[in-house]
Amino acid sequence: MKISAFGAATALVLAATPALAHVGHHPTGGFLAGLAHPILGIDHVLAMIAVGLWAGLVGGRATLAWPAAFLAAMIAAALAGMVGPWIPWTEAAIAGSVAALGLAVALRLAAPLAIGAVLCGAFAAAHGYAHGAELPLGASAGWYVGGFLVATAALHALGIALGRALGRDAPAWATRGAGGAVALAGVVLLVG
């Protein structure tokens, strides 16, 4: 049985868990807590896959540069989140990033390399801040950061693979539909 890229993307979206990537939902330990944080929240999963999906659709140097910009900004923001107070608009910014990234995918927005990297970095700031602010008590910050970087990179890689497959094998409406579904999820998260 052959599964299409669109079918695989749809299955992933439907299989995602509720947004539980917030305070108190981590297994014990630094690395495992960091690894779990992005994966346990649909807001993080959708944004991180969408970064890869967008980069994979655009192709070229964006394929690596945009996820790398996301990871770098996420590290800096996580460090700020570990030492600073909770910023009340963080959750809204995370939901907004999901909507914006979904829209970029739906429109197949071919942004210049630097602009796409800046946008991905800006979107990563809220995600990284949330990760850092939710460092479990007693967990090693270094291992925790390493864990969420591994999870985020894996989600980006999945998105890149889906983006390449959708860009190569799927009709344009499938890409627009996948991006539109992510954007709609972001709006639901924003108002919900």
pLDDT (tens digit per residue) in 121-158: 999 999 999 999 999 988 999 999 999 999 999 999 99
The answer to whether residue 34 scores a pLDDT higher than 90 is: yes
Distance, CA of 22 to CA of 75 (rounded, Å): 17
Residue whose structure tokens are 């009340």: 88
- Per-domain residue ranges of the chain: 26-191
Going by C-alpha positions, the residue among 20, 136, 137, 141 that lies closest to residue 80 is 141
Per residue in 19-30, pLDDT (tens digit) is: 434 444 444 569
Give how far Cα 149 sits from Cα of 31, 127, 140, 146, Å: 10, 11, 14, 5
Distance CA 178, CA 162 (A): 10
